Amino acid sequence: MRGAPGNPVVALRAYREAMAAGDLALARSAVDALAGAAPGDATLLAIADAVRSGEWSAADAAADRLLGGPLDFLSPSIRAWVAFQRGGPAMASGANTGAGTALTRRFDAENAALLLIARGRADEGVAALRTLIGGGNDNVNVRIAAAELLASRGRRDTAADLLDGDDPVLDAVRARIGRGVRPSAAFGVSRLFVRLAGDVVDGEAAPLAIALCRAALAIDPAYDRATMTLAGALSNAGEQPRALRALAAIGPSSPYAASAAAMRITMLSRGGDTSAALTAAHAAASARGAGADDWQRYGDALMTADRFAEAADAYGTAIERSGTTGDWTLLLQRGGALEQAGRWQDAKPLLEQAVALAPREAHALNYLGYAQIERNENLAAARALLERAHALQPDDAAITDSLGWALVRTGAVRQALPLLEKAARAEPADVTIQEHLGDAYWSLGRRYEARYAWRAAAVYADDGEAARITGKLATGIAD
């Protein structure tokens, strides 16, 4: 930026890096340098600055700049919260529910419900919100925002009812809601931004989620849910150190403390720090009051470290702590850990239980079917399991490969080949898939193509796999 102040490519990169790093002064300078070429989400920071400083005309003007762009559906709700802050009439709620796109109507309807509560019309607001929830438009962020507003109005029982559910975050918020949050434009706009960020955090729009969360935190630096969502967006963008630094801002008394600790384990593992992830997961599982989720995460960390027998024990403890044997995912995970630990006879009943509990879960069907195919056990039944899994998820490359391999093992090699080729096209770097394809080509006498597939497998193979594949490249497969 200093060296090329008029270069829009540099300015845009500076804006994105600044938002990821939380350097809002640099972000503002980059937006100024971009002038009319700034990305649409740059306006979010201008809105945040205006709201935090109480410059309501500037906030309205910035909201108007969203119109005609990809974020225009936010504009009516932003203006509605500004109107509330200015003491505008009750009808200035922004509930433009009869016009605009479906997205605009949804956000307007949610904010109209929140604004009713903020204006003291709690019963009407809750009724409107329950209508949205009943219509399939449930959103945890909106429910939490409504509960915070209700608590500020002395309606803690209603707030608690709104936070009812199995989500541990909702439980934590319900326990710590206290006097809630005073209704204001700062409250409404920051919650609006994080509500949208929550929708896009897991997709390819991580830069937008980051911008939304940074803008929300510029308005309300103590808004921990924005920090959590920001950390998730940074992690999804490959920014693990920055994500971990963001999480560190969440204190032990926050209702999001437990979720932040769990997210930290995931991020450490995702960033390749297996040892630190394992240490953190073990500490969480060993703490007083540790539950099934803590032991499941510990099991996951042990699996990543290839400590399969210990992982199986951790999953077993998770099953005990859950108070039920009806969780097919835990049964599948424990059975998978035992299978990889070389304890097939212990693993098989658990995998069968998982399939019995979840007969339409493709991954459970796939695991049990493939494990038996690999051991030449119950080939017909195993193939049937894999056919069911493939019917449920025909575009899953691993499942497609499993069915193809089952067909090879049961003598239907020509039928298997199109499936194995499809799987290899979808996952060209998967060692197992490429090796299976090579084996199928070899059995059909297509020796050149077999070696081509094996060479592709060898590129990504670990030491044990590489030795086996090298042998096939040298001598083929004995008839």
Q: What single-letter DSSP state applies at residue 107?
A: H
In 97-187, the DSSP E strands lie at none
In a domain, 282, yes or no: no
Whether residues 260 and 384 fall in one domain: no
Whether residues 75 and 196 fall in one domain: yes
* pLDDT per position as a tens digit, 298-347: 999 999 999 999 999 999 999 999 987 778 999 999 999 999 999 999 99
Model confidence, pTM: 0.81
* pLDDT per position as a tens digit, 413-460: 999 999 999 999 999 999 999 999 999 999 999 999 999 999 999 999
For residue 177, the SS3 value is coil
In a domain, 314, yes or no: no
3-state DSSP helix/strand/coil percent for the chain, to nearest 5? Answer: 75, 0, 25
The CATH number for 475's domain is 1.25.40.10
Whether residues 392 and 254 fall in one domain: no
Whether residues 241 and 370 fall in one domain: no
Whether residues 264 and 384 fall in one domain: no
Residue 212, pLDDT > 60, answer yes
Looking at the structure of the chain, the number of domains it has is 2
Whether residues 377 and 261 fall in one domain: no
CB atoms within 10 A of CB 203: 10
Gap between the Cα atoms of 231 and 260, Å rounded: 9
In a domain, 408, yes or no: yes
Identify the domain boundary among 269, 289, 307.
269
Sign of CA dihedral 195, 198, 201, 202: negative
Whether residues 98 and 215 fall in one domain: yes
The CATH number for 84's domain is 1.25.40
Identify the domain boundary among 215, 246, 269.
269
In a domain, 56, yes or no: no
In a domain, 298, yes or no: no
Whether residues 132 and 255 fall in one domain: yes
In a domain, 293, yes or no: no
* pLDDT per position as a tens digit, 109-164: 999 999 999 999 999 999 999 999 888 888 899 999 999 999 999 999 999 999 98
Gap between the Cα atoms of 150 and 177, Å rounded: 10
CB atoms within 10 A of CB 455: 13
For residue 86, the SS3 value is coil
CB atoms within 10 A of CB 249: 16
Contact 423/397 with Cβ under 8 angstroms?
yes
* pLDDT per position as a tens digit, 264-285: 998 998 888 999 999 999 999 9
Identify the domain boundary among 269, 304, 324.
269
Whether residues 371 and 255 fall in one domain: no
In a domain, 309, yes or no: no
Which residue segment(s) compose the domain that 84 sits in? 70-269
In a domain, 291, yes or no: no
- For residues 236-246, one letter each, b for 16 or more C-beta atoms within 10 angstroms of the residue's C-beta and e for the rest, the string is bbebbebbbeb
